[in-house]
Amino acid sequence: MTELPPFQTLIDKHAGDVMAVCRGTVGRSDADDCFQETFIAALRAYPKLSDGSNLRGWLVTIAHRKAIDHHRARGRRAIPVAEVAEVAVEDPLPDEGVWELVGALPPKQRAAVTLRYASDLPHAEIATALGCSPEAARRSLHEGLKRLRKELA
Amino acid sequence: MKAALNQLAERASAEGLLDVAYTTTDSPFGPLLLASTPKGLVRVGLPNQDADELLVDLATRVSPRVLEAPARLEETRRELDLYFEGRLTEFELPLDWQLSKDFRRKVLREIARIPYGQTRNYTQMARGAGNERAVRAAGTACGTNPIPLVVPCHRVLRSGGALGGYGGGLPMKEELLRLEGVLDS
């Protein structure tokens, strides 16, 4: 069995990646929640983790699951109303416009784009995280990028 | 992200997932590593010890759920600060002895009873731990003390009065004994 490093080193090394995945998938305002849920879930499972060789991929996968949970919960929370309240929206940062668009992509494409560009994962690891073949991962990424280009044009 | 990180340690602790909390703190001798479990202080790393190595050791021997959580060690830090200022003579911190076993743990419990400003020798510690002839083993127990300063192994000298060794280096031992008024300053 590989010896697991102190959990703090996972935070020091990969907090940025996890935050990028959360921002890319659930948006800036809920990213902190997604981030915490991810690390709490990871911390809970950590002592029993049998393979510590790809801790980054493991964390990113958990972050994606948490993002999916979040979307499902939000789906249940959504209640149609007659009038929509006017609420202030945070001013998006310059390149955040892109991530807003990424957030609007279909789930597989969104995940593939985020894993590739926010987390810098190679295709094989994206496939593992998404539970599909590398070809399917490549296709999702390609479709996602094509749609983004069209929207940005 | 900083806010999210700060909340993380608190939440981990509230959910019983913070097995080892640690922080570093300044001392007159250099930075100290302090680590505690829910039971109490489990490790004090002296300035000449590699903090990263100590954390890896804790992850292996106690639990890999090791998180930086300064708030969990506030009281330890406060008492150590007072001690270095000469304003505290007895620590009132819960201790977790799990890093020492059997005879070594008995020796360390003996050492924990030596009052401020007094010294004992290795033979006395061996006797107190139940085996007067295990003087060398008592020396090893001092040398591998996981909670130095709070378990005051600097108060143990060789029979005859020679200073013996110290994990933090002999100058630190001398300075601590001067602070406590055992050696002339």
Q: What is the chain A residue with the closest CA to B16?
A: A44
Is residue A118 within 8 Å of residue A23, measured between CB atoms? yes
pLDDT value for A87: 56
For the ranges A123-137, B63-77, B95-109, B170-184, the lowest mean pLDDT is seen at: A123-137
Q: Taking Cα atoms as reference points, which of A2, A24, A41, A3 lies closest to residue A121?
A: A24
* CATH number among 3.30.160, 2.60.40, 1.20.120, 3.30.750, domain B2-84: 3.30.160
Residue B123 reports pLDDT greater than 90: yes
How would you write B61-115 as a 3-class SS string?
HCCCCEEECHHHHHHHHHHHHHHHCCCCCCCCCCECCCCCCHHHHHHHHHHHCCC
- What's the CA gap between A150 and A72, in Å, rounded? 28
First-to-final CA distance of chain B = 48
Tell whether B60 lies on the interface with A, counting CB pairs under 8 A: yes
- Which residues of chain A, if any, have pLDDT below 50? 1, 91-94
Predicted model pTM: 0.78
Q: What percent of chain B has pLDDT over 90?
A: 89
Q: What is the pLDDT of residues B40-88, one digit of tens each?
A: 999 999 999 999 999 999 999 999 999 999 999 999 999 999 999 999 9
Q: Measured between beta carbons, which residues in chain B are less than 8 angstroms from residue A8?
A: 22, 55, 66-68
Average pLDDT, whole number, for chain B? 95
Q: Measured between beta carbons, which residues in chain A are less than 8 angstroms from residue B12?
A: 39-40, 43
Q: What is the pLDDT of residues B9-35, one digit of tens each?
A: 999 999 999 999 999 999 999 999 999
pLDDT value for A92: 42
Q: What share of residues in chain B are helix, strand, coil (percent, to 5)?
A: 45, 15, 45
- What's the CA gap between A5 and A55, in Å, rounded? 10
Q: Is B22 helix (H, G, I), strand (E, B) or coil?
A: strand
- Neighbouring-strand partners of residue B120: B156
The domain ranges of chain B are 2-84, 102-179
pLDDT value for A19: 93
The mean pLDDT of B88-117, rounded to a whole number, is 97
Pairs of residues, one from chain A and one from chain B, whose beta carbons lie less than 8 Å apart:
60
Q: Do domains B2-84 and B102-179 have the same CATH topology?
A: no
| DSSP class per residue in A46-94 | GGG-S--TTHHHHHHHHHHHHHHHHHHHHHHH----SSPPP---PPPPT
CB-based contact B55 A6, cutoff 8 Å: yes
- Neighbouring-strand partners of residue B21: B36, B67
Distance from CA of A87 to the nearest CA of B (A): 23
Among A36, A44, A47, the residue with its CB nearest the CB of B8 is: A36
CB-based contact A6 B5, cutoff 8 Å: no
Q: Which two tokens stand for residue A1?
A: 């069995």
CB-based contact B64 A7, cutoff 8 Å: yes
Tell whether B182 lies on the interface with A, counting CB pairs under 8 A: no
- What's the CA gap between B13 and B84, in Å, rounded? 29
- What's the CA gap between A107 and A94, in Å, rounded? 24
Tell whether A117 lies on the interface with B, counting CB pairs under 8 A: no
Q: Is it true that domain B102-179 has CATH number 3.40.50.10300?
A: no
Q: CB neighbours (10 Å) of residue B71?
A: 11
What value of ipTM does the predicted structure carry? 0.91
Distance from CA of A114 to the nearest CA of B (A): 18
CATH, domain range A7-152 = 1.20.140
| Measured torsion, CA atoms of residues B164, B167, B173, B179, in degrees rounded to the nearest 10 | -150
Active centre residues of B (catalytic): 153
pLDDT band at residue B128 under the 50/70/90 scheme: very high
The domain ranges of chain A are 7-152
User: A53-85 b/e with 16+ CB inside 10 Å = b?
Assistant: eebbbbbbbbbbebbeebeeeeeeeeeeeeeee
